[in-house]
Amino acid sequence: MGAPSDLKTSVTPRRELGDLAGADQRHEPLVLPDGDRAWLIEALRRMVLIRAVEERIGDEVAAGKVRCPCHLAIGQEAVPVGVARSLRPTDRVFGAHRSHAHYLAGGGSVRKLMAEILGKDTGASRGMGGSMHLTDPEHGLLGTVPIVGATIPIAVGAGLAAKLDGRGDIAVSYFGDGATEEGVFHESLNLAATMRLPVLFVCENNLFSSHLHISLRQPSDSVARYADAHRVPAALVDGNDVVAVARVAAQAIETMRAGGGPAFIEAVTYRWRGHVGPREDEDVGVRRKDDLNLWKGRDPVRRLFEALRSEGAVGSDALRAFEEEARAEAAAAWAQAELDPFPPPEALLDRVYGGRR
Partner 1 sequence: MGVTGYGLAIREGFEYLLANHREVFTIGQGLWSPWYVGNSMTDLDHRFGRERVIDTPVSELATTGAALGAALCGYRPVVIHPRVDFMLLAVDQIVTQAAKWRHMFGGSVRVPLTVRGIINRGGEQGAQHSQSLHSWFAHVPGLRVVMPATPADARDLLIASVLCDDPVLYIDDRWLYGVESELSPPVEMDLRRESPRRVREGRDITLAGAGYSAWLCVEAARVLAEDGISCDVIDIRVLNPLDARPIVDSVRRTGRLLAVDGDWLTCGFAGEIVARAAEAMAPSAWRASPRRLTLPDAPAPTSGPLEKLYYPTVNDVVAAARQVVGARADTWE
Ligand X SMILES: Cc1ncc(C[n+]2csc(CCOP(=O)(O)OP(=O)(O)O)c2C)c(N)n1
Residues that bind Mg ion (CB under 5 A): 176-177, 206, 208
Which of 31, 62, 284, 332 contacts partner 1 by CB under 8 A? 284
Helix, strand, coil fractions of the chain, as percent rounded to 5: 45, 10, 45
Binding of partner 1 by 333 (CB under 8 A): no
Which of 21, 47, 158, 207 contacts partner 1 by CB under 8 A? 158
Nearer Cβ to Mg ion, position 60 or 266? Answer: 266
C-alpha distance from residue 284 to each of 122, 213, 274, 290, 314 (Å): 37, 10, 9, 12, 39
In whole angstroms, give the CA distance from residue 357 to residue 352: 10
Binding of partner 1 by 67 (CB under 8 A): yes
- Contact of residue 260 among Mg ion, ligand X, a copy of itself, none (CB under 5-8 Å per partner type): a copy of itself
106-296-248 Cα angle (round to 5): 45
Q: Which residues pair with 267 in a beta bridge?
A: 204, 237
| Helix/strand/coil (H/E/C) assignment for every residue in 50-71 | HHHHHHHHHHHHHCCCCCCCCC
Q: With contacts defined by CB under 8 A, name the span among 20-28, 208-216, 224-232, 257-265 that binds partner 1.
A: 208-216
Binding of ligand X by 154 (CB under 6 A): no
Nearer Cβ to partner 1, position 94 or 322? Answer: 94
Q: Binding marks (x or -) toward a copy of itself, 250..279, rule CB under 8 A?
A: -xx--x----x--x----------------
Binding of ligand X by 101 (CB under 6 A): no
- Which residues 214-243 are close enough to bind a copy of itself by CB under 8 A? 216-220, 222, 224-226, 228-231, 233-238
Contact at 8 Å (CB) between 296 and 22?
A: no
- Which residues 75-94 are close enough to bind partner 1 by CB under 8 A? 92, 94
Q: Smallest distance, Å, CB 243 to partner 1?
A: 31
Please name the residues in contact with 64: beta carbons below 8 A apart, sequence gap of 6 or more. none
Q: Which residues pair with 266 in a beta bridge?
A: 203, 236
Binding of ligand X by 80 (CB under 6 A): no
Nearer Cβ to partner 1, position 86 or 131? Answer: 131
Question: Which ranges constitute the DSSP H helices of the chain?
Answer: 37-62, 78-84, 100-105, 110-117, 151-165, 183-195, 224-229, 242-257, 288-296, 300-310, 316-339, 347-350
Nearer Cβ to a copy of itself, position 89 or 168? Answer: 168
Contact at 8 Å (CB) between 66 and 57?
A: yes
Integer distance in angstroms from the first to the last C-alpha of the chain?
A: 58
Q: Smallest distance, Å, CB 342 to partner 1?
A: 5
Binding of ligand X by 177 (CB under 6 A): yes
Contact at 8 Å (CB) between 198 and 260?
A: yes
**Residues in touch with a copy of itself (CB under 8 A):** 1-10, 12, 16-20, 181-187, 190, 193-194, 216-220, 222, 224-226, 228-231, 233-238, 244, 247-248, 251-252, 255, 260, 263
